[in-house]
Each structure stands twice: as C-alpha cells, then as structure tokens.
Structure 1
C-alpha cells in the first residue's frame, strides 16, 4: 500500500482528471472486473483499441484512479513514435519510470546494452516485478502500444507468460487499423495467450448524450439547442469535442445565463475548421518557426534541444513557448515539452513543406547525435529525411541495423532497406547491404519481401561477386526448401569472379543445405570441401562440422558424431560465428544427443536452446526447440506432454513448415494420432505428410514414415510397406530419434513380407546401426530389427535386455511385445502371456491406447483378458498428467515458476503452460486456490490414487 501512495506517476495521472469520463460505462465495467479479479490474485489482459482522439489515454487515467482506490498499484507507460527503434524504451518507461522504480535502473540499462544479455534483462525484470506484485497487486497500464519497440514487445510477452499466475493485470491501448506486423503479431499473441482471461474492447464514437455531457462539464452549464447541434459536428470524438468547446470560448461565442449555455449562430468555430497552416498563421513569426521545428523533434523534447534547433538560447524562448502553450499546441510534461496531442503534432509536421521538413529532420538528427542520442534513437528520422549519397546517414543506419538485428530483425531489415536506398548505385558496399537485408527479412519471416528484393536485385547485370553475395543471403535460412537453398550455392560456385572468402561461405552453406535436404552422400563430400576451404569466417568450418556430424550419425558413427559436435562447440567459443549459426549448432547438438539416447545431455541442450530462443532473437529456432521438446516427450512415452508442446505453437497441431520443424512435426503428429487413436489428429497428420512429400529426400522420408506408422497402427501392413519403400532409405540426414522407431516398425512390416525392397532397406539400416558398438541404443535397435527379420526369439530377448538401460520405454515395450508374440508362436503360452502383459502395462501407462488394444488382442488369443481400465478425465485431479502433478506439488510447496522450471529442467514458459492447463482442468484461478485444493486433496484417503499411474 505504501508503494501505491508514493507512486508519482499514478499521482500525476489522477491530477490530470478534471472531469468525469463520459459514455464509457460498459468499458469501465470491464476495468472494474479486471481490478476485482486482481484483488483476488487473478491476472488478466485487456486490450483497448480505437482511432486517434477517441479517449484511450483518458481511459487509462481513469483505470489508474480506480486502481488507487482499490489499493492496487498502477504503473503507467507510454510508447512514442520516435522510440520504436530504441530497444526496451517502453519497458523501461513502464517499470523503471515508476516511483519508486521496479528494478535496478543502472543494472537494467547495462544489460540492455549487451548484445547477448536480453534474456537476462527480462529475467531480472521478472524477479523485480514478481517481488513488487507480492507486496501489492499491479495494474500495468500501457498507452499507444502501436508505437512499441520490438524489444519491449518481446519482453512483455515473456513477462506475461512467466508472471501469469502472479497478481498482475495488463491494460494496453492501441490504435485500431493497420499496425506494424511485429506489433500486430505480438498483440494477437497476447490476446490468444491469455485465453479466457483476456478482454478486447473498442472505444467507438460517443453517442449524442455523452458528447453533450462533455461540453456541459467544460462549460459547467446546460446546453441550448444550438450548442447541442454544434456538438454533433465533432462526430463523438472527445478530442474534437474539446477543440470545439475551446474554439467557441476563444471566439467569445459562449454565453451562460442561469445555468444554461448558449451560442449565437451555428457556425463551427474556426479552431475546428482551420487547417494547421491557418492556425499557425495566427502566431507570431518566431513562435510559428518554433512550432514547425518542434514538430520534427522526438515526442518529448527539452527547451535546450529546441533552442539549439532554432539557434536561440533557452532563456530567449520563454515568450515563444508560452505563446505556443496558450495556443494549445504545446504542453509541459515534467521538465520537457510535447505537443498537446499526436493529432496536433502530425498536423503541424504536415504543415511544413515536404522539402523543408526533410531538411529540418536531417538537421535534428545531427543535433540529437551531438547531445548523445544513439543510432537507434535517430534511425527513424534519418530514414525519413536523408538523401541519396548521404554517407553519414548510411553509416548511422547500418549501426542501427547491427544493434537491432539482435532483438528486432524486422525493424533492422527496414533500416537496412532504407540504407540501401540512400546508397549510390555504384557504391561497392550496396550489394552487401542488399544481402544483409534479405537475410534479415528471412529471419523476420517476411519471406515474400525477401524474395521480391532477391529477384529485383538479380534482374540487373551484376558482377559475379555481388551476385554470389546476394545468392548467399537466400541460401541461408529462408522459406525455401533445403534443396532450393543448395541450388543458390551451386549456381554461385559456378561463377568465375567470386572471391575465395565468398566461395568458402557458399561451400559451408552448401554442405549444411544438402545435409538438411537428406542428400547424405553429397553432404559428406561437400562438408570435406568446406572444411578444406581457406576462410577467415569461423562459421564456414562450423557449418562443415555440423553437416559432417549429421552424416556420421546417419551412417552409424555415433561416437564420432559427438566428437565432431565437440569440435563445433570449441570453434564457437574461439570465434564469432554469428547468432544464427550458434543457434543451429545448439539445435543439432540437442538433436544428435537425443537420437543417440543421451537424454540427460539432450535435455540440458534443449533447455539451453529454449533459453536462447526466449531472448527474442529467432522465432524459427524457438519453433525448432519446441518440436525437439515434443519429440523428446514422445520417445519417453509422455504423449500428453508432447501434445501440449505442439499445441503451444502459433498454429498448434496445424503447424506446417518446410524446415526441420515441419519434419519433426509430422513425426510427432503421426505418433500422437496413431497411438491415441485420434482420428482428427490423424487427418491433420496426413495433410502435413502430403505437404512434405515432394520437398526433398529428408522430407519425403519423414512423410512416408508417418504414413507407414499410421497405416500399421490401422492394421494395413501392405500400405505401410509401400509407404516405407516410397520413402527410400530409413536412416538419412538429419537423423531424428523417431527414425529409430520407424526402423523397428519397418522391420516388423518386412518380417511379414518375405523379402523384397523393404527387407533390403531394413538390412541396410541395421548395418549402419551396427557400425559403432559404443552406442547402446543403436545396438539395441539393430539387434531388435535383425531379430525380427530372422524371426529369432532368443535375439529378441537379448534386444529387450539391451533396451533396459536406454530410457526408451515405447521401444522397450515394442520389443517385449515382439518377444511375447514370438514365444506364443513357438508354443510357450505362459512366458508369452507374461511378456505381453508387461507390454500392455507399458503401453497403457503411456496412454498409447492403440498399442495397448493390439497387445490385448494377442493376450486374448492366449486366454488372458486385459482391458484399459483408466482413460484420463478431461477435468479434475484425475485429468492431470504426471508432469502436471509434479508442477502442482512444487507450487504447493511455495516454489515460483522459475524455481519449478529449474527443478524440473523445463523452461519457465513450459511451466506456465502447465499451470494454465492445471488451472483450466481444476477450474481454479490462482496459485493460492491451487495450494488449498492440493492440501485438501493430499489430506484425503484417496490422495495417492488420484495421481496418475
């Protein structure tokens, strides 16, 4: 409560409230609900949209007043147009600008300046906000979200996710209509992420009664018919209503007699109908110049900065600034000045002839830089004002590109494109900027713009080196399939006038791209060529090593693959390979570890990758690690957790992608669909497989494997065999953990086919897996597959023993089932029933109902009847998964989300997703309610039986 009383920002918000807020009773009722829920410990999200001047800022001030009266601490932040390129500007204004501040101001600013500290900045901010919310519920009020910088948008989304169970509510305003793509995506994600705890309201024009009430409040009188007719000319816009009323008073047309206000005539006041030019013409020449100049400055500016722009000492501005304030053009904001409203500022800016405006903005950039402004802070003005050939402007924009590329590739791409347009056509550096812009557009997932810029650039005759640089940008991570990206490398390597350095980079990406395309043999030779290339770019050899490690893994050399990845980590530590390549290295280390059965190492690598992705640097790599998490859950028999992971994606189970995410997605989806007998999921998995079928060898292998698995589970071995044969080799690059499961399945199918093409494919895969005896999982899978082909029960028993230490419960259950079937076939019914019962229990425990039913049928043939006795409920304690129970237990002990994440080796985002699911299943809204419910459940006699078996 003390913090609420002391908060200076909230006090100022209250001071601005002169009149009641009219015509918004329904909308304010939502705020009342938000605050009431907040007092009960339940957070929520409210998005308020509307056109300029409709009263969004005033609405937030009213929300702040309501919060203060309810002993809730309001925090107010406002975004500004000229701060969009300044990372975390809005975040700092909202929390560090509070009084007292939330967070260590100096520590936060130091973290924001570091290239790789953004995750830690959000983590530190999370701790500070959580601590403040533990003392007093917080209502975070953010105005003009449409101007927010990308760093803040990323931070807000992470903080909302991590703090969802804390007593914090978020109310944000945004202009309706089109917004920057990054803002639109972030806004939609916030609304979607809060689910039923989100509201979205639009402030529309006020009705006639509310509009008249505003004028009554200002004039402290009732209105005659003429005034009522005049109010209708503002069309219910509060800002225009105030302009109309003040205009009438300026012209002396308002008369108040016995509490009733009247006016002569029905002419609209000049203030409302004047263009900004006419309004400025009524000012003195010096004040008019001052307002013109102020319109091109940042939203908030000091008198000192204004004085430097108009070449006057601040003390000589007193009269002129006073005149602009009295004319309701400028207003004071603490020790700075600003325009009274954005509409006024934009109108004043537009009133300046375009050529003069550009010159003024360019001059303001130099002044701002001279007083310590950063490249990011002046980049928007430079982009609007600089001329072709302005080398200084280009240099500043490229500095901003370098900084923004770490947190906001989309805005960095915009700045890069602006820099490109300012460069002379004969500037030798121009095409490197084009290439960088294409790369940034792809990273921002603005694939269409990247392709157009790429095509336009290659339409002209270019020197070989420039063409190769531009093709290189499109050969990296774009929406094209890996084979198409590799073709850009091949075409560039055929050019004769390419420098050794650019050639080496193409060799590195060629090796990586053909590996990701599934061209395993080509990838080996390409990796050797890239490794032997002379280059000062450390990423070339890293890419070569990543390609080689995957080839080695697919060929069965698991230990060598791990050693090669160790070399990759050493190279990354020794040199700058760039964020994107580092992400790729982290991903492949996690994937290979998972494929080799090193689950502890894989889990640690996945968590590192998730943490890196949460720094806001790469949404594509974040999707990759979500899918790795899902695949890890599948192979451990945690099907509920795998489904939760894929459902957390932007498109959920309907996700489709050309990259490795799409490849893993079809694997996971087909497993979930077939094992849980979910027909709708099977249909979606089929569509995902069809999408990948003609997109290169690796995608075709995954698609065919998915189709084969679903066909087998449906009892159609012929269709399964056909799918495997169409997919070609069973083990290829990039090798995934579920490729091993498909190898066993292919052996099951081939064993009943009496030879043929599939038998040869399985035999080839077995030879690969037998290459390295130091990988227990490879040995177990090869033993299992060979035993199936040879119909050898003794070898199946050895395979069961080999799986025992591999942490692959579904593969172990499959081997136990196969052993039971073999024993039954050989007449050993007693031992067969025992093994089949073990397999039934394992599949039932994993909720793999299709497998459990198949084993139950085999048991029935032996006279043993088993049935699936427990289907998970959709609500209540019985509906919780094992992982959800672990989260409940830790939260009930008082652990925070971050502490739960560290203990369970999960990301805070995943923990928050589990908590949301828990709250929904138990129909509760707060951590405290969860603790009380858990204690009540744990205290009952059936507490143990409530937990998942």
Structure 2
C-alpha cells in the first residue's frame, strides 16, 4: 500500500522535513548523489522526463539516498512529491495525496485532478517524484509516458529480480539505472561514528564489518550493541565493553544470519569456530571429511552471512564475539568431540601443545589415554607466561586423570598455577589435600585413608612433588599473612635430598620473604643465614635478601635506608640475582617511592619495572597508582586505583594489600565527608594486629570522624589508641607512610588540651626526620609539627612548600593562615584563599567550608561562591540519601540489568571498583541482590 507526502523545499539541507529531525551526513554515496544531480541537470536542460532506478537489495541505503535526492533537487528548484507505503491502494491515488489534491469521490475525479495539477506544475517548474517502494518498471514508464517532453524526474526503487532495463534511452523516454554497491570500509566507519557520536576503535570497526557495507544492517548492529549496553567512549573512541561472551542482541543477530545460510555453510562455520578465530580451509575440510575444493560453495555462502572476513586468505571470523556466538549454539558433547578432532589436526601439523591448549582444555576426556600427559605438558609450558591458562589446564587435568601415580604431580602443578594466578584459597586446598594423601578429597571419599592411598604412596616415592606442594602452600600462606605457618610448611624443604633446584630456590625465596614479613627480633640474622645457605648451593638470592632488609628498615621507620636497599635490590635483579615473583624489587621500590610522595621517581620506577604475568604485578601497580594519585590531589583516580586493588586483594585474600587499599579509600572518604564508608574501612583496619600500622590507621580514622562530629570524649578515647604511651611498635611505619598523620595528631592533641603529649610526640617526629635525611615528606611533617607546637610561621611555610601530599600541603596552608591572622591579615587572607581553592579541588567540602569560615572571620564575605557557608551535613548512613553520587550512578546502572563490566565501561572504572561500590550500596540499602536493588530503584 502507498501513501503520498508532499515535501516542502525550504529547510536546512541536513533536515528531513517528513521525519521532522536532522539527518546524519550521507556517507559513501557521494558518487551516486552526484550522478542523480547530473540527471536533474539533464532534465532541467532538455525539458525531457527521465526515470531513474535505484538498484540494490534491502538495507542498501535506497531510502536514505532518495531523501538526499529530494533535498538536492529541491534546492535546484524542483517541486518534490514523495510516494511511499500507506493506506492508499494505487500509485495515482498516492500521487494525488503527494500533490495535495486530497481524495475526493469518485476516485476518477481525483486522478484527473492529480494529472492536471502535475501537468500544470510541470509547465511552471520541474517536478521530482520519489517512489520508495518497488513497483514494476512498466507501471513506472506508464506513469511517465504523458510527460515525456516535460521536466519530470521519477526516482524509484527497482524491484528485486527485475530484469535490468536498457541503459540506452528509448526514443520517447529515458531510463537510467543506478546500482548501490556496499559501502566502503571507510564510509562504514564514518557512518558508525555519526550514529555513535565517536569513531569506532579498530576492534569495534572489525566487528561492524559483519554488516558488509549495508547501511541498514550496520545501523541494526549498532542498535543491538547499544541495546545490550556494551559500548562506551574511551579516549575519544567508541569501544566494546563486554568481551567475554557475546551480548544477547548480537548473539541473536548472528544466529539469524546463520539460520538463513545453507546447511553446508552452517557446518563450515561450526567447524571453523571450533578451530579458532582463523583457520585453514584444509583443516576445516579435514574435520568435515570433505575435499577442500568441495568447500567453495559453503565458503561463499558462509561469507555472505557477514560472520567471516571475505578478504582473508584463511577462514577468519570478523570478531571473536561472532565466533563465540557460533560456538554457543553447538551441543556441548559435539563441541568437545570437535575440539578433540582439532587437537589431533594441530598436533599432526607440528603445532606446540601450548598452541593447542584451547582444544586440549575443552576436549579433554578421561578415556583418551594421552589426555593427562598432554594437559600436564601444556600447563607446565603455560605456567611462566600465563598462569591463569596453566591453572585451567592443570585443574582440568586433575578432573580427568585416572592414574593415581599421576594425580599428585598434577595436583602440585595445579596448586602452583592457582597460586600464581591469584586463586590462593584453591591453591591451599589442593596442596593440603595432596599432602594429606586425599587428592583434594577424592581418595578419602572413596573410602581410602590418607596413609593407604596410592596417591600418597606415589607422592612419597619422589621428594620433588611434596616439596613443590609445601612450597606452594607456604607461599600462599605467606601472601595470606600467616607468616609462622608459612615458615613451618617450609621447614624441611630446602635441605631435603632429591629436591629439584627450582623448587629449592622457590622455597628459599619464600622463606626470606616470610622472615621479613614476620619481622622477628633476629629476622636480619636469619635472612643472612638463608642467603649463605643458598650461596652454598650455587644460588644468588642477593636481590631477595636485600629487599627483605629494606622491608625491615621500612617497618622500623628508616625509610631513607629502605629506599636505598630497595633500589639496590632492583639493580641486583637486573644483574641476574634472584628475587621471588611475589615480591618484585622493582614494584616494591616504586610503591615505597609513591608512599613518600616522590612522584617523578615513582613513575620512572613503575615504567621500568618488567611486566609480570602473576597476579601480584597488577595489584602492586594499582597500589602505587593509588598512592601517586592521592599525593597529586587526584581523588577520583586515587579512588579508582585503590578500589581496583581492594577488589583484587579481597579476591585473593591478601590482607596486607587490602589494608593498603583501604587506607587510601578511608582517607578519601574522610576528605569527602563520606563518614559511613570511612567507618567501615576503619573497622576492618582495626582488626589488624594490635598497634600495627594498619590498626593505628584504623584508630586514626576513628579519631578524625570523632573530631568532625565534635565529639570530644570519643576523640580523647581515639587519640589514646592512636598513639599510646610508650609509642606503639607500628608507629614509626605509620609516620613514614602517612605524611598528614603527624601534623593532624599534634593539632588534635593541642585542641584537646594535651600539650605534653603533643610535645613528646613532636620529639618522636623530629627524631624520625633526623634518621631519614633527604626525604622531603618526613621533613615536611616535622616542620609542620614544629610550626604547630611553636607557633612558627616560617616552619609552617616551609612545610607547605615541602609536603608531597596534596591534602597535607593544603592543611599546612590553612594552619599558616590561622597563625598569620593575628599579625598579617592580608597575607593570612591570601594563604587561606589558596587553601580554600585547594580543598575545593580535592573535593574536601567540609575542609573548604572551614577555610571559608576563617576567611569570613577576616571580613572576606564575598569569597563565598558556589560552595555552602557551613560544613556539609553528615550524610545519612542508610537509605538512598546515604549513597554518594558515584554510588547512585552505579545503582541506577545495576538496576537496569547491566553487569559490573558494562557499568565499568560506562563509568570509566574497573570492574573491581564497581564491585566495591555495589557492596557499599547493598550495605546502605540493606539488600542482598540486584533484584532487590531493581525493586528499590523502582519504588524510589
């Protein structure tokens, strides 16, 4: 059915008058539009009618080209009449409506009036009739016939299957045909950029190639991705967020394309998907048991689905998500069997077992005699560069191995791979199960006792396997913070006969790290003894031993010496000395530099540190990044880095890393007035060993909250715990790590009338500065403390210049402004204004409001701009009002059904950060699931 729409000429050329909204630029059809312009000029010049047929399949952009042709010819003086689908049932009736005749009865009167109006208009101006509906060419020629000698241009869509008319004009009429070929890749990318608001990155552009240059399919594909919320903007480019599995809409779109293909093409796509992103035609032919030449029709058909890249010499899927869409539809049993076929093909071609690991992983079966051996070899080869893959392979081996003699070695391999990939709980479970002779509980379930199991006997036959298990167990316990248990597990490993050198090396490295972490009174001597023992066995553990000394010095507050030793350890490792993968000298050095606010040196150390495949590498980089951002006054970046570190640390169970991350998040929460979040971090930190740096930090956060809430009794109690008498063992390390701590504590002690305690504490800070020459952060803290105790403006000014931490520097400015208020008002105002601006940049509204009040006390009322005059009221601890701005945004996205990874992409956060925020949201709203969150959001 057809209807007509009269299109006015006026309006901007980028606007579709019928649709009522702006059109995006036409991409890739400039030559075709230029040809239509030539047709229009020919009609104007010859005063003869012309029929133009747009030839192209559905979705080729015919409708959009017609819209542009209407705008183009309208600008050249044509009266435009559009004919399209609708309630009228004849072309002439639609034309009547398009020309404004209406639909009077009888119909013949309308037809005559339409033709009369068309003839009249053709006498005064040229006319374009655009028909966005396939009609038989004879009918179009019949419509054109009465106006052969008139300036009429009829543009229409050529029906599918219509024989191409002669391109030579007949004596009485002209007919031209315009084929619409697929958009060039550059034009398709431009179209995607118009629809997305940013150019697609190469990965997304590769996926969009599935549309094969068809504009409508390209738009549908983008709509599908947007519907699943898997697109985000990053650095000016549109990128895919979800990469692990195909988005639902994309999966459905791919399946529709596959369903439309022939059965041989579907079989080819399935076989190719099992082989990988790219595969050789001969491999696919071997799986399908067909000659390569017989694949040609299926390859052409499969390429026509858009899933394969037709320009590749191999059978290559345009994107991994498309391959995953094909695999998802294969029954699991069939998929596993195909993986076994693919494994045999690749091994026969001479590929390494590691390269064939995906087929081995997904096709492993207990009945295959070589499966366990292949899994063990592949896991061993993957361990150094990809411990996550090694863990998958080894765990798969544990599941399929049937030989008791091979079970325990496989468990040892799996325990180490899980350890290196961050699955510490699983590693401990595997190691304990194997050492107890239960093969992770399986032999015990079978009714065997640990002493009589064949696995235990096999393990006892070779000392290498139990030594490897004990080393993995000890390392996992070390990373979890159980240092005595780690040392106990290692007791006999290095000296046991028959232990391989690599296992002995790892055991000695773990013992050194555990001794340093335990920090016993004779730790230094015991570390030196281990180093001598290793040297006698031909092992140079100098880098690890020197780094352990650095840890001991840091704990004792000798930060300058710790920095020297950490740098020395990194240099020794560069020269070939050994260090453990879990205590990198380079990253440890960078973290110490970051904690001391030595930003430039820390960034250089991070850049120089080698990228390690183990999970501790990214974790240490997150922690260093959080400290750097906090020191530089970039709270959003600091929060993102710290939340990422917290997520990784909690997943692995690394208490020390979790506490480091929480210290940053707690500082940010206090600065931003998010007291409930700060309270939660403080509670976790206080559960650390009494008077350790983490526990003292938790008490300090509590003291800051008490001060902010003007609770003097609670503040006095917290101050007694923050710095008891005598000074706590972890106090020096806290002073080194937290530059704002010392001045804050002195200020709080003075405020509560405890000058004697403040003076005694000041002496400790001065002694610490003397012991650490050349460290600006510690000397700035000492100057700040001296300025507060002695009312010394020079010392406070020096502290403001020397502080490496943004918040500490700003608080020194505020203290200086307060001191100057009684002697130099103008300078006090300038200093407080600088502090106010700095607090505002940090997002510390409560501190900014306090600085603003001090300015008002000096008569500077005009300085109140957009910030409130009083401190921000304390945020409620529960309910929607308790959510921060970031938490509200995360909650809204989660309520819409978005995954953590999708939310992370939208908000430029890491998935670990999103998970952290969701935990806060669930706690504040007293809910336990996303469904409850969605219901809460709906109620709100």
Per-residue displacement from partner, 1:34-53 (whole Å, max 9, x unpaired)? Answer: xxxxxxxxxxxxxxxxxxxx
1:380 to 358, 375, 381: 358
Matches within 5 A, 1:301-380: 304-305=282-283, 365-380=343-358
Q: Which residue of 2 aligns with 1:558?
A: 559
Aligned CA distance change for structure 1 residues 205 and 69 (closer, same or farther; 3 Å): closer
Q: Indicate yes or no: 2:598 matched with 1:601.
A: no
2:668 to 652, 672, 675: 672
Matches within 5 A, 1:366-765: 366-383=344-361, 396-398=374-376, 400-401=378-379, 404-405=382-383, 408-420=386-398, 434-460=411-437, 463=460, 466-476=465-475, 482-484=480-482, 487-493=485-491, 498=496, 502=503, 505-513=506-514, 515=516, 519=519, 524-525=524-525, 527-534=527-534, 540-575=541-576, 580-581=581-582, 584-607=584-607, 617=613, 621-639=617-635, 642-643=638-639, 646=642, 658-676=654-672, 678=673, 681-696=674-689, 697-715=692-710, 716=712, 717-725=715-723, 729=728, 731=730, 738-751=737-750, 752=752, 754=754, 763-764=763-764
Matches within 5 A, 1:61-100: 71-73=187-189
Q: Indicate yes or no: 2:917 matched with 1:846.
A: no
Q: Indicate yes or no: 2:816 matched with 1:830.
A: no
Q: TM-score scaled to structure 1, two decimals? A: 0.53
Aligned CA distance change for structure 1 residues 95 and 853 (closer, same or farther; 3 Å): closer
Q: Which residue of 2 aligns with 1:50?
A: none
Q: Secondary structure at the match of 2:236?
A: coil
Per the TM alignment, residue 830 of structure 1 is displaced from its structure 2 partner at its CA by: 1.1
Q: Which residue of 1 aligns with 2:768?
A: 768
Of structures 1 and 2, the larger Rg is shown by 2
Per-residue displacement from partner, 1:897-932 (whole Å, max 9, x unpaired)? Answer: xxxxxxxxxxxx999959xxxxxxxxxxxxxxxxxx
Per-residue displacement from partner, 1:555-608 (whole Å, max 9, x unpaired)? Answer: 3433322321222222322338589447x3333212222344433212333455
Moved more, 743-752 or 491-500: 491-500
Matches within 5 A, 1:739-888: 739-751=738-750, 752=752, 754=754, 763-764=763-764, 766-785=766-785, 791-794=789-792, 797-798=794-795, 800-801=797-798, 804-808=801-805, 810-815=807-812, 817-818=814-815, 829-831=822-824, 834-835=827-828, 838-839=831-832, 841-847=834-840, 848-854=844-850, 869-871=864-866
CA distance in 1, matches of 2:277, 2:905: 39
Per the TM alignment, residue 309 of structure 1 is displaced from its structure 2 partner at its CA by: 8.1
Aligned CA distance change for structure 1 residues 855 and 19 (closer, same or farther; 3 Å): closer
The gaps in structure 1 that reach 5 residues or longer are 6-17, 22-28, 30-63, 77-89, 100-137, 146-156, 175-182, 188-198, 207-235, 248-271, 277-289, 874-908, 915-949
Does the CA contact (< 8 Å) of 2:277 and 2:323 recur in 1? no
Aligned CA distance change for structure 1 residues 544 and 391 (closer, same or farther; 3 Å): farther
Does the CA contact (< 8 Å) of 1:68 and 1:74 recur in 2? no
Per-residue displacement from partner, 1:698-722 (whole Å, max 9, x unpaired)? Answer: 4323322332333334444314403
Per the TM alignment, residue 780 of structure 1 is displaced from its structure 2 partner at its CA by: 3.4
Aligned CA distance change for structure 1 residues 556 and 434 (closer, same or farther; 3 Å): same
Per the TM alignment, residue 846 of structure 1 is displaced from its structure 2 partner at its CA by: 3.1
CA distance in 1, matches of 2:372, 2:471: 23
Q: Which residue of 2 aligns with 1:280?
A: none
CA distance in 1, matches of 2:618, 2:203: 25
Per-residue displacement from partner, 1:8-36 (whole Å, max 9, x unpaired)? Answer: xxxxxxxxxx9969xxxxxxx9xxxxxxx
Does the CA contact (< 8 Å) of 1:606 and 1:629 recur in 2? no
Does the CA contact (< 8 Å) of 1:368 and 1:378 recur in 2? yes
CA-atom RMSD in angstroms: 6.3
Q: Secondary structure at the match of 1:375?
A: coil
CA distance in 1, matches of 2:185, 2:487: 65
CA distance in 2, matches of 1:603, 1:910: 26
Moved more, 635-644 or 645-654: 645-654
Does the CA contact (< 8 Å) of 1:692 and 1:700 recur in 2? yes
Aligned CA distance change for structure 1 residues 802 and 857 (closer, same or farther; 3 Å): closer
Does the CA contact (< 8 Å) of 1:483 and 1:514 recur in 2? no
Structure of higher RCO (CA pairs closer than 8 Å, 6+ residues apart): 1
Per the TM alignment, residue 165 of structure 1 is displaced from its structure 2 partner at its CA by: 0.7
Does the CA contact (< 8 Å) of 1:362 and 1:385 recur in 2? yes
Does the CA contact (< 8 Å) of 2:415 and 2:431 recur in 1? yes
The gaps in structure 2 that reach 5 residues or longer are 1-24, 30-55, 65-179, 193-200, 211-217, 438-455, 869-903, 910-940
Aligned CA distance change for structure 1 residues 532 and 784 (closer, same or farther; 3 Å): farther
Q: TM-score scaled to structure 2, two decimals? A: 0.53
